[in-house]
């Protein structure tokens, strides 16, 4: 059909940076920058943006793009001696032309395979050789899937921490709650990573939060009451979940983040932080994140996240 856009298209994005656009027949789409292997956009079939991207995002090395889904590797946060969140998010990735096969095939899905391998400069920062393969897939229903495969190509073992630093777009942070993390232990980044236990209630937001929930269920729901939308995160190989919102004061100190933008975002990050992942020579690790956005369901006038969590 004339005028029909291809399911996978490579084109220029902000500042002339190359990006990949994935499109699904019903109209949903996603965008991935080679810079950082970074998903910057995920839209549903109504064309509504589901990820937060700062209006002040700088699409220029060495700064990672503020918003979307930065990949934190080989270090999450400041849990080690490397730069904050590691360096994979501010390196250029390439197309992986011949990726090793996946156990599940992806027919009728728009996807792209990217690869990152450290160069000599990177090896001076972190002296370990590896191949990092990332597949980003847009499913027929508009679900977004990220699969990371990291293979140790070195002669010695290495350990790393990791996160898909997902910035979800929300209508108003004070109307949002997270289900699936209640009663869990967490490390509080705002209190020197001290360990606490979360209360039994769903998590709501009224001030800065920067917590690493430990050994979480594989399914977490983020309910946007005002938008009547629920994000469902499913994760595999990633035991922890980081929840971050900088709130008003911290927001003002972040140069590439608007003063009021904290109201419209929430980071819920599928992660492996508390226990580093160790790979022996030749071993491979796999970490998967699946995101879907569904209309929130009501029962007896109330949101019913259990149906989402158990479904």
Ligand X SMILES: O=P(O)(O)OC[C@H]1O[C@@H](O)[C@H](O)[C@@H](O)[C@@H]1O
Residues that bind ligand X (CB under 6 A): 77, 84-85, 165, 189, 210, 242, 244, 267, 269
Q: Is 165 one of the catalytic residues?
A: yes
22 versus 178: smaller Cβ distance to ligand X:
178
Q: Considering the candidates 165, 261, 274, 290, report the single residue annotated as catalytic.
A: 165
C-alpha angle 125/126/131, rounded to 5°? Answer: 125
42 versus 244: smaller Cβ distance to ligand X:
244
Tokens of 282: 């030749």
To 10 degrees, the CA torsion angle through 38, 274, 189, 54? 10
Minimum distance of ligand X from residue 211's CB (angstroms): 8
| Burial class for 98, CB neighbours closer than 10 Å (0-12, 13-18, 19+) | exposed
Q: Considering the candidates 179, 269, 274, 290, report the single residue annotated as catalytic.
A: 269
Q: Give me the residues paired with residue 177 across strands.
A: 223
Q: Would you list which residues are annotated within the binding site?
A: 66, 84, 89
Minimum distance of ligand X from residue 288's CB (angstroms): 19
Phi, psi of 150 (to 5 degrees): -115, 125
Tokens of 201: 């209630």
Q: Is 128 one of the catalytic residues?
A: no
58 versus 294: smaller Cβ distance to ligand X:
58
Q: How many Cα atoms are found within 13 Å in the side-chain-facing hemisphere of 305?
A: 22
| CB neighbour list of residue 176: distance below 8 Å, 6 or more residues apart | 170, 204, 205, 222, 223, 224, 225, 266
Minimum distance of ligand X from residue 284's CB (angstroms): 25
Minimum distance of ligand X from residue 103's CB (angstroms): 30
| CB neighbour list of residue 104: distance below 8 Å, 6 or more residues apart | none
Q: How many Cα atoms are found within 13 Å in the side-chain-facing hemisphere of 118?
A: 21
Minimum distance of ligand X from residue 269's CB (angstroms): 6
Q: Is the dihedral of CA 100, 102, 103, 109 positive or negative?
A: negative
Q: Which residues are catalytic?
A: 165, 269
């Amino acid at each position: 059909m004339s005028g029909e856009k291809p399911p996978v298209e490579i084109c220029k994005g902000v500042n002339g940076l190359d990006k990949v656009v994935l499109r699904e027949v019903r109209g949903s789409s996603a965008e991935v920058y080679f810079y950082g292997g970074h998903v910057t956009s995920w839209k549903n079939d109504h064309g509504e943006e589901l990820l937060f991207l700062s209006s002040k995002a700088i699409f220029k090395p060495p700064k990672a793009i503020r918003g979307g889904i930065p990949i934190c590797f080989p270090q999450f946060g400041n849990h080690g001696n490397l730069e904050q969140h590691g360096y994979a998010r501010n390196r250029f990735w390439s197309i992986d032309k011949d990726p090793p096969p996946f156990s599940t095939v992806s027919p009728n899905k728009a996807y792209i395979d990217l690869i990152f391998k450290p160069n000599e400069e990177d090896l001076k920062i972190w002296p370990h050789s590896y191949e990092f393969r990332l597949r980003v897939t847009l499913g027929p229903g508009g679900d977004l899937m990220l699969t990371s495969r990291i293979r140790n190509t070195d002669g010695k073992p290495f350990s790393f921490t990791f996160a898909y630093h997902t910035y979800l777009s929300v209508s108003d942070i004070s109307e949002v709650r997270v289900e699936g993390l209640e009663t869990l232990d967490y490390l509080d980044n705002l209190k020197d990573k001290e360990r606490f236990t979360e209360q039994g209630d769903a998590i709501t937001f009224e001030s800065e939060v920067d917590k690493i929930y430990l050994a979480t269920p594989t399914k977490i729901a983020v309910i946007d009451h005002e938008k009547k939308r629920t994000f469902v995160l499913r994760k595999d190989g990633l035991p922890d979940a980081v929840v971050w919102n900088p709130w008003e004061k911290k927001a003002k100190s972040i140069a590439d983040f608007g003063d009021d933008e904290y109201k419209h975002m929430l980071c819920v990050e599928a992660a492996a932080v508390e226990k580093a992942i160790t790979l022996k020579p030749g071993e491979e690790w796999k970490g998967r994140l699946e995101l879907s956005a569904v209309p929130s369901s009501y029962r007896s006038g109330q949101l019913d996240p259990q149906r989402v969590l158990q479904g």
